[in-house]
Structure 1
Amino acid sequence: MSSERNIFNNLSPLDHRYSRGENFRLLSQYFSEEARFKWEARVELALIETLVDFGIAPKKAIDQMKKAVESINADEVYKEEEKTKHNTRALVNCLRENVDSEFRQYIHLGATSFDIVDTAAILRYKAFNDEVLIPALKELIEKISEVAYRERSTVQLGRTHGQAAVPVTFGYYMAGFVSRLGNRLESLENYSSELTGQFSGAVGAYNSLSLLVDNPVEFETVLLNKLDLNRSEHSTQIIPPEKITDYIHGIVSTFGVIADLSDDFRHLQRSEISETGEAFSEDQVGSSTMPQKRNPINFENIKSSWKVTVPKIITVYMDQLCEHQRDLTNSSSARYYPEIISHLFLAIKRLNKVMARLVLDHENLKRNLDNHKDMILAEPLYIMLAREGHPDAHEAVRKLTLKSEETGKKVLELAQEDEGLNKYFDKLTTAEKDILNNPANYTGAAINETVEIVNNWSDRLNIERTW
């Protein structure tokens, strides 16, 4: 094993394709095997510090342990594991080799493996969530908010079931993602804050600690406070899995919102729609054989990464099951949890770049609306007629749309020719008649609600409005 191994010799596309450069270095600080042992050693250090607090270990043990923690590396631990066949004991042995013999007895004293492993994993997830993931997601919400506010009055053809519906504004459409992602961000913060640690021994009943201190629960509390963690109300040899399950669920559901946005934008770049586009660099190639192609590669990549990630939540749910106080059926599967978090982070980073350079084709937005404006006035026409007393306005307008398709005449023209509708038309205001002549005016509360939503989430997330 060598840390100098070429990244392209790694097995996972997450390493050699999707997280090269700065992203790889950043993710490695939290989720690499090297980082795993560093975080576990940090918990072992907290144990030594707590043993000192309770008068069990001498104060000099802390400095000894700090040096040992700094010197630990995954290569040494794996070599030791070849002998022990136990990764935590291998880590402990490596730490013991780096302190004077008189302090070795205190390393891992009173602990079981998953006091260290589970607590260190929670530390990593919380740290990454709070230090990296939440700021990246907040940046994305800020970028989408800027687009929403800027395009708050830009009219877009609404679409339901893949069909032309009534108008919306592009800003209001984007505001929906601001709201959904803002909600998910707050959920991730809450889920992260609920994650707890443990230090309760082989079956969670504090058996070993009770031989060292009078109040083992207090010992656990003091130790976890050093790591800024709360203790689990009850644990076996592992932390109850529901809270990490909730957190990973939050990760996956957040990814779902991003995938939904990306899939929509992928379709909005279709040739027959062409309302938005990704910025295309001068040397970028869309197809190996069709030089004119400009594919929505970033949106497609995000959807594809989402497809890889979503099924992994099933494994997380399966890991809720543990036989009695402990089995090892999650020891392999839980190692893949960081991939779920990493894929979301990389998707957020990719989407941040795209949103910063998003291109809107306002002419095509208008064209697509105009191509359907004769039929999309059917809803406001029916509502207006019903409000003015027509006994079956929906059916009357439905028949007008069928007649329009048969004759080629416009719905509004047919409605105005219908003598049975004249008495209702006479009651309409000028503004209402303008809507029927130009459905672009039929956007309801979209503009005001866009501003309201963007301002709400900017305030809740402390985003400085620069737009």
Structure 2
Amino acid sequence: MSLRSLSPLDGRYVDQVKLLSAYFSEWALIKYRIYVEVEWLITMAERPEITHVRSFTADETEQLRSLVIDFDDEQAQQVKDIEKTTRHDVKAAEYYIKEKIKDTSLDEISESVHFCCTSEDINNLAYALMLRDGIQQEWLPQAQALVDAVADLAGNTADLPMMSHTHGQPATPSTVGKEMAVFVARWQRQFSQIERAEYMGKFNGAVGNYNAHVVTYPDIPWEAVARHLIEDRLGLTFNPLTTQIEPHDYMAELFHMLMRFNTILLDFDRDMWSYISLGYFRQKVIKTEVGSSIMPHKVNPIDFENSEANVGVGNALLDHLASKLQASRQQRDLTDSSALRNVGTAIGHSLLAIQSSLRGVGRVEVDEESLKRNLDDAWEVLAEAIQMVMRKAGHDNPYEQMKTLTRGQTITQETMEAFIRDLDLPDADKIRLLSLTPSAYIGLATDLVQHIR
């Protein structure tokens, strides 16, 4: 960690997000560019109709792919040194490859590196690969870990009654598990969409028409060649109709999916913060930690607060990228290039938010006594059930009667039981109401948790 880092992702939080650097750093971008260039060379060598690129031996193919496999910081610095002269990052990667195959058996095909390519042919595929690998290898596993942890909490507390709150006021009881399960179900829906996300690519030249390709080799099915490279070689989805740039619509779709997952996380963080404040959850005390520089007793819900803050930063960036990247003047302007360099930052803050919340979940435990006390003091919540039974029995104005009895009043068990006994109800209904307590008034909450299993 550098104490002079501008971004907290590269400073305070670097240990938590450092694995993302393999996918979203400058080093990663250079590596993925070289990967695309190499696979394009190999693709051309496998097509006899591209006559100026001979077929490669197995050793030559391995030599080319080793440029990617063995890529390290020293190699990346070589590319950056070339860029100081070219002032063009993709051209620097091209010259780097040419330099690496110089004085080898591949030297004769040196001018086939970057053949018929505009920089965006390389960049759009590099970014698609970076996004796909970063999301699938790092973001999704962490998101799944959070969903699993909350699902476990839901299962373990499926039948544990708790007071609900609507508008911040006591409301019909639920269970801790059911309320946790709501978040799990919401996350699972977004998660499945993110898992199925498409990562699209184009490889069609300067303005998307294969102009130079057709002049150079008029009879080659260039769309099929591009599709083979993108889908069969790189595992992406071929976009056949673009300008110079792949229009980034799939990125906007992906970023909106991530934003929805993050916003559900924000909702979860705020609810957990509130439940801790209400005493529903206790935070585990770590002896060596400090909660306040002046108030020794404090144990603060900092993990959920940290998560909430990082959701805000991440979603702000994702929202900007989703709207910015879809707009590019005419066949292309360069605004997407600068914007795309912030993708890793946006995903980094999202990942940090997930990790913080996951840590928070691991450091809380349910306070069953507090939950019970809270319900035992809220007999007024049974007014809903009583007035419904009164409606069933044909009573006049049951809602108004219960409103007069309970609204703004302190209601005890004795008060409620006396009211029920005076009601003209069938014996079975009256017995059921007299046996009802706030803790027992949870409907199907326990059974509903099964929907996440």
Is TM-score (shorter-chain normalized) higher than 0.5? Answer: yes
Match of 2:291 in 1: 286
Q: 1:13, 1:442 → 2: CA distance?
A: 47
Among 239, 246, 259, the alignment partner of 2:253 is 246
Q: Aligned-pair distance for 1:440?
A: 1.0
Match of 2:441 in 1: 442
Q: 2:62, 2:429 → 1: CA distance?
A: 84
Cα gap change, 1:422 to 1:64, in 2 (>3 Å): closer
Q: Aligned-pair distance for 1:429?
A: 4.4
Q: What percentage of residue pairs aligned between the two structures are identical?
A: 28
Match of 1:3 in 2: none
Q: Aligned-pair distance for 1:66?
A: 2.8
What code does the residue aligned with 2:22 have?
Q
Q: Aligned-pair distance for 1:80?
A: 2.0
Among 262, 265, 269, the alignment partner of 2:272 is 265
Q: 2:255, 2:179 → 1: CA distance?
A: 27
Match of 1:26 in 2: 19
Unaligned runs of 5+ in 2: none
Q: Aligned-pair distance for 1:378?
A: 1.3
- Larger displacement relative to structure 2 (88-97 or 168-177): 88-97
Match of 1:226 in 2: 233
Cα gap change, 1:106 to 1:145, in 2 (>3 Å): same
What code does the residue aligned with 2:271 have?
D
Q: 1:218, 1:392 → 2: CA distance?
A: 74
Match of 2:370 in 1: 364
Asked if 1:115 corresponds to 2:121, the answer is yes
Asked if 1:42 corresponds to 2:49, the answer is no
Unaligned runs of 5+ in 1: 1-5, 456-467
Q: Aligned-pair distance for 1:418?
A: 8.7
Q: Aligned-pair distance for 1:382?
A: 1.2
Q: 1:12, 1:134 → 2: CA distance?
A: 23
Q: Aligned-pair distance for 1:411?
A: 8.1
Q: Aligned-pair distance for 1:425?
A: 6.8
Q: Aligned-pair distance for 1:395?
A: 1.1
Cα gap change, 1:278 to 1:207, in 2 (>3 Å): farther
- Larger displacement relative to structure 2 (30-39 or 85-94): 85-94
Report if aligned partners of 2:181, 2:452 keep a CA contact under 8 Å in 1: yes
Q: What SS class does the counterpart of residue 10 from structure 2 fall into?
A: helix
Q: 2:438, 2:448 → 1: CA distance?
A: 19
Asked if 1:208 corresponds to 2:207, the answer is no
Q: 1:414, 1:368 → 2: CA distance?
A: 17
Among 430, 449, 453, the alignment partner of 2:451 is 453
Asked if 1:182 corresponds to 2:188, the answer is yes
Cα deviations by residue, 1:34-81 (Å, 9 ceiling, x for unpaired):
111111111111100111011332315634533444357332222222
Q: 1:86, 1:104 → 2: CA distance?
A: 19
Report if aligned partners of 2:253, 2:322 keep a CA contact under 8 Å in 1: no
Report if aligned partners of 1:416, 1:422 keep a CA contact under 8 Å in 2: no
Q: 1:430, 1:146 → 2: CA distance?
A: 36
Map 1:367-446 to 2 at 5 A.
367-371=373-377, 373-402=378-407, 405=409, 410=412, 413=415, 416=418, 422-424=423-425, 426=427, 428-435=429-436, 438-446=437-445
Cα gap change, 1:326 to 1:170, in 2 (>3 Å): same
What code does the residue aligned with 1:424 have?
L
Q: 1:202, 1:292 → 2: CA distance?
A: 65
Query: TM-score, normalization: structure 2?
Result: 0.91
Q: 1:448, 1:109 → 2: CA distance?
A: 62
Q: 2:89, 2:254 → 1: CA distance?
A: 26
Q: Aligned-pair distance for 1:104?
A: 1.5
Q: RMSD value over aligned CA atoms?
A: 2.1
Match of 2:151 in 1: 145
Q: 2:276, 2:109 → 1: CA distance?
A: 65
Cα deviations by residue, 1:325-352 (Å, 9 ceiling, x for unpaired):
1111111111111222222222222333
What code does the residue aligned with 2:334 have?
L
Cα deviations by residue, 1:5-44 (Å, 9 ceiling, x for unpaired):
x533321101111232xx4441111111111111111111
